[in-house]
Amino acid sequence: VKIARFSTGGDPRFGIVDGDELVVLRGDPMFAGFDTTDERVPLADAKLLAPVIPRSKVVAVGKNYVDHVAEFGGEVPEEPLLFLKPNTSVIGPGDTIVRPPQSRRVDFEGELAIVIGSIAKNVAAEDAAQVIFGYTIANDVTARDLQKKDGQWARAKGFDTFCPLGPVIETEYEVATGTVETRLNGTVAQAAPFTDMVHGIGAIVAHVTAAFTMLPGDVILTGTPAGVGAMVGGDVVEVTVSGIGTLSNPVR
């Protein structure tokens, strides 16, 4: 099912997407289960929010598509290359990506995002599904000039608004048949099947949880395919993952 976190003016609530309506849930389904109420809210009346606020961290995988590694030169890492984005970088669908004054080159990176559903440490690749709540869409926004200048990626990947997530979490997603496509002002910039990933979902979850304890609500970004590019003020960037939806954000 598709889970949305939304507001109709008051506190954030959760709902299951049913056609053009949301079936309102009692509490956060990650913790309270799928406890439905009788209330339905038209999607048109709901402001969708980031479907999850990562409890402790966003872990991201770099260089996980061969053709993306090729566009910058360099080697495909033998193991998943990990970096962190702070949870304060997360924004929701429709929210504005803000280019910081420190950077002259801010790029989009459309990605599939794993939403962790339980405390996870040292999870074997074949057991990954047991700790995954679902999948959503991410834009791993990157200050490309600062990524090169700083040598490490904390600032370049971690500015406020640099991790759009959403619009929904799909809890029954079949990654093997999925695709990602990123459009800048309607023009396709990135398009790839998830079978192009160097390291698959199981290997990523195993590698991440061998290093970090992941908490329910933490998120893992799985890497971006070729075609990343710069965004400027007035642009609109859309990331579509088949079977999940489209994450759209304006840029300022």
Site stretch for Mg ion (CB under 5 A), options 106-114, 121-129, 166-174, 239-247: 106-114
Should residue 170 be labelled a site residue for Mg ion when binding is judged by CB under 5 A? Answer: no
Alpha carbons within 13 A on the beta-carbon side of 18: 12
Q: How far is the CB of 63 from Mg ion (least distance, A)?
A: 9
Which of 4, 13, 63, 109 touches Mg ion (CB under 5 A)?
Answer: 109
Q: Give 17-45 as a 3 state SS string.
A: EECCEEEEECCCHHHHCCCEEEEEEEHHH
Q: How far apart are CA 170 and CA 93, in angstroms?
A: 15
Nearer to Mg ion, 6 or 153 (CB): 153
Write down how long the chain is: 252
Task: Let me know: does 3 contact 134? Beta carbons within 8 Å.
Answer: yes
Site stretch for Mg ion (CB under 5 A), options 83-91, 108-116, 129-137, 233-241: 108-116
Q: Footprint of Mg ion on residues 129-148 (CB under 5 A)?
A: 140
Tokens 């080159």 appear where?
105
- Give the residue nearest to Mg ion (CB): 140
Q: How far apart are CA 1 and CA 12, in angstroms?
A: 19
Q: How far is the CB of 61 from Mg ion (least distance, A)?
A: 7
Q: How far apart are CA 78 and CA 61, in angstroms?
A: 12
Q: What amino acid is encoded at 155 in this protein? A: R
Strand order in the sheet with 245-250: 187-193, 179-184, 236-241, 245-250
Q: How far is the CB of 22 from Mg ion (least distance, A)?
A: 30
User: What single DSSP character describes residue 128?
Assistant: G
Nearer to Mg ion, 109 or 170 (CB): 109
Q: Footprint of Mg ion on residues 16-55 (CB under 5 A)?
A: none
Q: How far is the CB of 211 from Mg ion (least distance, A)?
A: 18
Should residue 224 be labelled a site residue for Mg ion when binding is judged by CB under 5 A? Answer: yes
Nearer to Mg ion, 63 or 99 (CB): 63
Site stretch for Mg ion (CB under 5 A), options 5-13, 88-96, 147-155, 224-232: 224-232
The footprint of Mg ion (CB under 5 A) covers 109, 140, 224
